[in-house]
Amino acid sequence: MFEDHLDTECACVVGGAGLAGMGFLFNALKTGVLPQLCRDGLIVVDASDRPGVGSLGQYRITANSVGDVFIDCLRDPRLASIFEPLEYSPAYWRIRRQADSAPPLAEVGELMAEAHRLVLEHIVKHFGVRIWHSTAITAVTWQPGEVHLLVETAGFERRIRCRALVLNLGGRQTPQHLCAGLAAHGLSLPAAADVLGSDVLLRMNAVQIRERLVPVLAAGRRISVIGGSHSAFSVLENLADALEFAGLQELTLIHRNPVRLFYECAEQAHAQGYDFDAQRDVCPVSGRINRSGGLRYRAQQIGREVLHNGRVGKTGVTVRRAQLQGGAPADLELAAQALGESGAVIQCTGYQPVLPQLYHADDTSIQLRQANGGLDANAQGCPQDQDGRRLDGIYLFGIGAGLAPDPQLGSEQAFEGRIYGVWQFHHTASSAVLEAVLARVQRLARKPEPARPSLVQTLDERMHLLLPGLSGKV
């Protein structure tokens, strides 16, 4: 008879096998350190029944990088044999054909999901990694030297004790965050407005957008988009495309800082008539303009149209713009009026990380310190609690968390946010985390005991017979 509460011990848990968690595993494989990481057990825990898929492919927009950036994540001699099947994959060839242009995220998501599946199968077969799919991490207790996880599969709870937890569970947008941002400028949301996150809106097709927002237009109310990022400009385009023929004539864009555009170099920016600050907007390492915070590709085209012609792309939908910091004196008033007239407000003000309940060993709850655009973590992704205590052993770098720009790689001075993206997950961000995880796992390793299958191990091997999510198969 098995009990519901079972304990497992391992060296490392990768919590969340989306784009960030998979970037970490790819990097461990490419750098040849996976065997060391797996020696005392590596478990991948993901809430989805298809770990490795993540959310990127669900957004109905184009990528903010060219196809080759994603191919580059798969391009490594150590991965070549694993990815042989991709030679026959239409998803792979679709992205290859768009090596120099920005592909739709649906196509990127398809390729990355195929590549992730191949890697997961490989590491299960060759390194004994266990994949607990359909398993949600519900609580984490941190103490120096050990991290305890409470996980749930189909109603069954189980504990994992590990030395290192790589925790990237995706991002979320909370209306409280939006309200706090507006309140800083003396603005508030109208009580009756439908507040919709860009994360939800960008996953909707045109029919779904019309179902949700045509009643707002029919009531003669305005739609306001809040934010100045890629998501905000993608939202403007998707709204204009879906709603122009349902009567949408004008959208309002309320953003805090100037809208920044990315250029490869100063000459390119000058040629396009784009004004930039030579001190604050230029990356000292690469010479690129607004390298971290500038709009790229499709979002840049939309941004340029909005800045120059006040229109969304080639549609007839116009945009009223209000810049809250350093904008025209009337902008704040314009924003207040537009919000007052809005029946729907689309929140594009960034993400917070999805987190389980976090506790100290004495059961006091942990709140992680936030930074502009993510978490106040060190270069290895270890966050701080509300008292400034560093939580060594927990590593976050995915959406909503991010990492500060690496001074060696460069960024523009004006960029105050956190960096995250697929290429970073596979390279710079996960390299720093990998090094820290490996050092910690080795430092805290227990002295080997005489080999004998433990009860926990035996239970673990048989668990899949009872709980499908706990099998060591992908």
Ligand X SMILES: Cc1cc2nc3c(=O)[nH]c(=O)nc-3n(C[C@H](O)[C@H](O)[C@H](O)COP(=O)(O)OP(=O)(O)OC[C@H]3O[C@@H](n4cnc5c(N)ncnc54)[C@H](O)[C@@H]3O)c2cc1C
Site residues (vs ligand X, CB under 6 A):
15-21, 45-48, 54-56, 59, 63-65, 105, 136-137, 168-170, 199, 202, 231, 354, 356, 398-399, 420-423
Name residues whose C-beta falls within 8 Å of residue 439's C-beta, 6 or more positions apart in sequence: none
- In the structure encoding, which two tokens stand for residue 461, read together? 């091997």
- In the structure encoding, which two tokens stand for residue 312, read together? 């969304």
Pick the closer one to ligand X by CB: 136 or 195.
136
Pick the closer one to ligand X by CB: 168 or 431.
168
Phi, psi of 220 (to 5 degrees): 75, 20
CA distances from 101 to 266, 304, 305, 416 (A): 21, 18, 19, 27
The three-state secondary structure class of 54 is coil
Pick the closer one to ligand X by CB: 202 or 470.
202
The three-state secondary structure class of 185 is coil
CB of 294 to ligand X, least distance (A): 14
CB of 467 to ligand X, least distance (A): 15
CB of 131 to ligand X, least distance (A): 12
CB of 104 to ligand X, least distance (A): 10
Interatomic CA distance for residues 15 and 29, integer angstroms? 17
Pick the closer one to ligand X by CB: 272 or 357.
357
CB of 111 to ligand X, least distance (A): 12
Residue with tokens 């809005």: 342
Interatomic CA distance for residues 449 and 33, integer angstroms? 23
Pick the closer one to ligand X by CB: 259 or 419.
419
CB of 280 to ligand X, least distance (A): 24
Pick the closer one to ligand X by CB: 11 or 167.
167
CB of 143 to ligand X, least distance (A): 21
Pick the closer one to ligand X by CB: 165 or 335.
165
What are the CB-based long-range contacts (under 8 Å, 24+) for 79-87?
79/26, 79/29, 79/30, 79/119, 82/29, 82/118, 82/119, 82/122, 83/115, 83/118, 85/118, 86/111, 86/114, 86/115, 86/118
Pick the closer one to ligand X by CB: 103 or 181.
103
Do residues 381 and 396 make contact, with C-beta atoms less than 8 angstroms apart?
A: yes
Do residues 42 and 25 make contact, with C-beta atoms less than 8 angstroms apart?
A: no
Strands 374-375 and 370-371 turn out to be: antiparallel
CA distances from 13 to 262, 312, 333, 403 (A): 37, 45, 50, 20
CB of 266 to ligand X, least distance (A): 25
CB of 81 to ligand X, least distance (A): 25
- In the structure encoding, which two tokens stand for residue 325, read together? 């910091």
The closest residue (CB) to ligand X is 18
Pick the closer one to ligand X by CB: 262 or 332.
262
Pick the closer one to ligand X by CB: 147 or 187.
147
Please classify residue 44 by burial: count the beta carbons closer than 10 Å to its beta carbon, then call 0-12 exposed, 13-18 middle and 19+ buried. buried
Sign of torsion, CA 297 302 304 305?
positive
Name residues whose C-beta falls within 8 Å of residue 58's C-beta, 6 or more positions apart in sequence: 105, 106, 109, 203
Interatomic CA distance for residues 43 and 128, integer angstroms? 9
Pick the closer one to ligand X by CB: 169 or 225.
169
Pick the closer one to ligand X by CB: 170 or 343.
170
CB atoms within 10 A of CB 340: 14
Interatomic CA distance for residues 229 and 226, integer angstroms? 9
CB of 392 to ligand X, least distance (A): 21
CB of 68 to ligand X, least distance (A): 12
- In the structure encoding, which two tokens stand for residue 71, read together? 């191919």
CB of 150 to ligand X, least distance (A): 10
